[in-house]
């Protein structure tokens, strides 16, 4: 999903009286990092030279600055002197300090790598404290799980940081009526996240949708029709209109280089084009891997794009309401009226149906929306709000129950964590409610809660913290 690769610099420091060269510390690190760069899709800019003096460290720093690395991984390949870190600390906006184990358990010490890493960390936090240089430390050889697991989290998190800083969100039709709590400040979103939001009239999509040839629309409609286990749509031409909307969104996104879309789905669509656009949103997510937030929710589109960057999956995340809570057998029904991509579905797949709420109390019927029950899976629930200054980090398990929940796209979620700490359903709901969380949630498959936490730490975004539920009003949080 990422368009811009993370540029990781590597340098290994040491001094001549230790054995970094003899144990090929730099060669081993670079070879391993090159393999990881291929597997994890980042760029490696490595300094292979022996860095055994302050002068060598300064020269390496200038070379790395010229390469405009996003992150510097500084390995204490052997015992190093404190002054070596001074020029290297200013190479990139963020850095890692990396130590490796000793080659032998006894005898004379060969590397002294861990002590030098600790020495460098102290310099960053004390000697250079006024420069506020953010860093993360690592321990283990490049091929070890103890190194790869935390370093993999960092690569994902910083790849997301880099791509969010240049993300473009197409916003069509404004917010849905009444969603005043999802209003945002475009300038602050740009300042805090780097996200650029470009507003369009809904007519830009509708006018374009009407211009496609019948042949191209028919071909795409047949593919969409065939993907469902059944189709129960009242109006014969509804598929034509919603397919045209999909094509319009797909092509406009490509032309404008948008990373995600936020599109208001009611009530103008029904008034002007007699359609519920849900299927088009879900199809864009499943087939193109592009997040489309319904109801014009820019926060939702931004949050979905962030999840897509972290999961790296072909299919997009989705946007849901927490529609029902079961306090007896603790679980929450996460639901929306038909927008989730079909890869969320259980073995029964997806059905195309008339929209489950729009028009149901009038003579009008609006299609096409999805109807599916989510398969059991691990999930991450997140949401950026308050002009990009606040992030929700929730983990959960999707479970299948005898009661599938209400018609639409939905699943039962349980075993919640908040910031990777277990949390009861009551505490989670209380935390979200008393804190005024908007009622939308971006949901992706897989567990990327560690990556979200690291993303928020690197960017200085505040995470939502637990507020304990009581039967009495104990605290107000605004």
H-helix or E-strand spanning residue 379: strand 377-385
CATH number of the domain that residue 250 is part of: 3.40.275.10
In order of 184, 201, 257, 303, the CA distances from 175 in angstroms are: 10, 11, 22, 16
* 124 occurs within a structural domain: yes
**Predicted local distance difference test score (pLDDT) of residue 475:** 75
> For every one of its 478 residues, what pLDDT tens digit does the chain have, with 9 covering 90 and above?
689 999 999 999 999 999 999 999 999 999 999 999 999 999 999 999 999 999 999 999 999 999 999 999 999 999 999 999 999 999 999 999 999 999 999 999 999 999 999 999 999 999 999 999 999 999 999 999 999 999 999 999 999 999 999 999 999 999 999 999 999 999 999 999 999 999 999 999 999 999 999 999 999 999 999 999 999 999 889 999 999 999 999 999 999 999 999 999 999 999 999 999 999 999 999 999 999 999 999 999 999 999 999 999 889 999 999 999 999 999 999 999 999 999 999 999 999 999 999 888 888 888 899 999 999 999 999 999 999 999 999 999 999 999 999 999 999 999 999 999 999 999 999 999 999 999 999 999 999 999 999 999 999 999 999 999 999 988 776 6
Contacts 24+ apart (CB under 8 A), 46-51: 46/9, 46/10, 46/11, 47/9, 47/10, 47/11, 47/12, 50/14, 50/20, 50/21, 50/26, 51/11, 51/12, 51/13, 51/14, 51/77, 51/84
Last residue within a domain, chosen from 164, 186, 201: 164
Rounded to whole angstroms, the Cα distance separating 364 from 360 reads: 7
Q: Are 15 and 52 in contact (CB under 8 A)?
A: yes
Cα→Cα distances 400→342, 348, 374, 410, 417, Å: 16, 12, 7, 10, 19
CA 43 to chain centre: 20
- Statement to judge: residues 141 and 175 lie in one domain: no
**Contact between residue 440 and residue 294 where contact means Cβ atoms under 8 Å apart:** no
Of residues 113, 119, 115, 109, the one with CA closest to residue 89: 119
For residue 314, being part of any structural domain is answered with yes
CB-side neighbour CA atoms (13 Å) of 148: 12
* Listed residues 138, 164, 190: the one ending a domain: 164
- For position 132, what pLDDT does the model report? 96
Q: Report H helices in 358-448.
A: 425-434
Strand partners, 381: 394, 443
* Same domain, residue pair 90 and 186: no
Q: Are residues 134 and 261 located together in one domain of the fold?
A: no
In a domain, 335, yes or no: yes
Count of domains observed in the chain:
2
How many H helices and E strands in the chain? 14, 20
Which pLDDT score, from 0 to 100, does residue 313 have?
A: 85
Question: Alpha-carbon distance 229 to 412, whole Å?
Answer: 22
Predicted pLDDT at 476: 74
Range of the domain at 435: 168-463
Residue 471 within any structural domain of the chain: no
Residues 312 and 221 in one domain: yes
CA distance 307 to 380: 8
Is there a single domain that holds both residue 75 and residue 213?
A: no
Residue at 108 is within a domain:
yes
Q: Is residue 470 part of a domain?
A: no
CB atoms within 10 A of CB 338: 32
Phi, then psi, of 68 in degrees rounded to 5:
55, 55
- 12 belongs to a structural domain: yes
Which pairing describes strands 331-336 and 409-418: parallel, antiparallel, or unpaired?
antiparallel
Are residues 20 and 116 both part of a single domain? Answer: yes
Examine the domain organization and report whether 215 and 254 are in the same domain: yes
Q: Are residues 434 and 459 in the same domain?
A: yes
Measured on CA atoms in the order 462, 298, 442, 408, is the torsion positive or negative? positive
Angle separating helix axes 145-164 and 25-40, nearest 10 degrees: 50
Burial class (CB in 10 A: 0-12, 13-18, 19+), 142: buried
Contact criterion met (CB below 8 Å) for 301 and 264: no
If asked whether residues 266 and 379 sit together in one domain, one would say yes
Residues 244, 274, single domain; the answer is yes
First-to-last CA distance in the chain? 36
Q: What is the CATH number of the domain that holds 111?
A: 3.40.50.10940
Cβ neighbours, 10 Å, residue 236: 8
Residue 126 within a domain: yes
Largest Cα–Cα distance of the chain, in whole Å? 87
- Show which of 131, 164, 197 is a domain's final residue: 164
DSSP lists the bridge partners of residue 197 as 169
Q: Tell me, yes or no, whether 390 and 299 share the same domain.
A: yes
Nearest to 394 by CA among 434, 373, 437, 423: 423
Query: Is residue 152 domain-shared with residue 238, that is, in the same domain?
Result: no
Q: What is the C-alpha separation between 84 and 181, in angstroms, rounded? A: 51
User: Given the DSSP bridges, would you call strands 135-139 and 421-422 parallel, antiparallel or unpaired?
Assistant: unpaired
């Amino acid at each position: 999903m990422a368009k811009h690769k993370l540029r990781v610099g590597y340098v290994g420091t040491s001094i001549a009286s230790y054995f970094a060269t003899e144990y090929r510390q730099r060669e081993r690190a670079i070879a391993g990092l090159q393999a990881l760069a291929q597997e994890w899709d980042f760029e490696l800019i490595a300094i292979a030279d022996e860095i055994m003096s302050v002068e060598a460290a300064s020269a390496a720093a200038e070379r790395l600055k010229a390469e405009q690395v996003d992150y510097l991984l500084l390995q204490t390949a052997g015992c190093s002197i404190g002054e070596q870190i001074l020029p290297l600390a200013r190479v990139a906006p963020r850095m890692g300090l990396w130590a490796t184990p000793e080659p032998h358990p006894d005898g004379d010490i060969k590397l002294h790598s861990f002590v030098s890493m600790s020495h460098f960390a102290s310099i960053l936090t004390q000697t250079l404290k006024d420069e506020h240089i953010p860093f993360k430390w690592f321990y283990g050889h490049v091929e070890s799980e103890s190194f790869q697991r935390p370093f993999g989290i960092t690569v994902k998190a910083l790849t997301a940081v880099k791509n969010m800083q240049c993300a473009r969100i197409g916003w069509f039709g404004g917010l849905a009526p009444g969603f005043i709590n999802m209003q945002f400040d475009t300038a602050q979103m740009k300042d805090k996240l780097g996200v650029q939001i470009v507003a369009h009239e809904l007519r830009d999509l509708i006018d374009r949708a009407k211009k496609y040839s019948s042949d191209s629309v028919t071909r795409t409609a047949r593919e969409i029709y065939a993907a469902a286990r059944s189709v129960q749509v009242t109006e014969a031409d509804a598929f034509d209109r919603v397919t045209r909307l999909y094509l319009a969104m797909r092509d406009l996104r490509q032309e404008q280089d948008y990373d995600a879309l936020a599109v208001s789905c009611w009530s103008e669509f029904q008034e002007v084009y007699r359609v519920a656009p849900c299927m088009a949103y879900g199809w864009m997510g499943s087939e193109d891997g592009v997040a489309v937030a319904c109801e014009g929710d820019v926060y939702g589109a931004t949050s979905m794009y962030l999840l897509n960057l972290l999961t790296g999956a072909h299919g997009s995340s989705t946007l849901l309401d927490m529609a029902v809570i079961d306090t007896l057998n603790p679980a929450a029904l996460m639901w929306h009226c038909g927008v989730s991509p079909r890869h969320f579905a259980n073995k029964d797949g997806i059905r195309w149906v008339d929209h489950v709420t729009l028009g149901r109390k009038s003579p009008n019927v609006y299609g096409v929306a999805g109807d599916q029950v989510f398969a059991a899976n691990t999930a991450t629930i997140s949401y950026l709000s308050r002009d990009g200054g606040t992030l929700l980090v929730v983990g959960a398990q999707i479970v299948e129950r005898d009661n599938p929940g209400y018609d639409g796209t939905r699943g039962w979620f349980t075993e919640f964590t908040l910031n990777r700490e277990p949390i009861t359903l009551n505490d989670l709901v209380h935390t979200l409610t008393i804190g005024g969380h908007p009622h939308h949630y971006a949901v992706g498959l897989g567990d990327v809660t560690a990556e979200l936490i690291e993303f928020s730490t690197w960017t200085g975004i505040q995470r939502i913290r637990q507020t304990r539920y009581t039967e009495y009003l104990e605290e107000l949080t605004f």
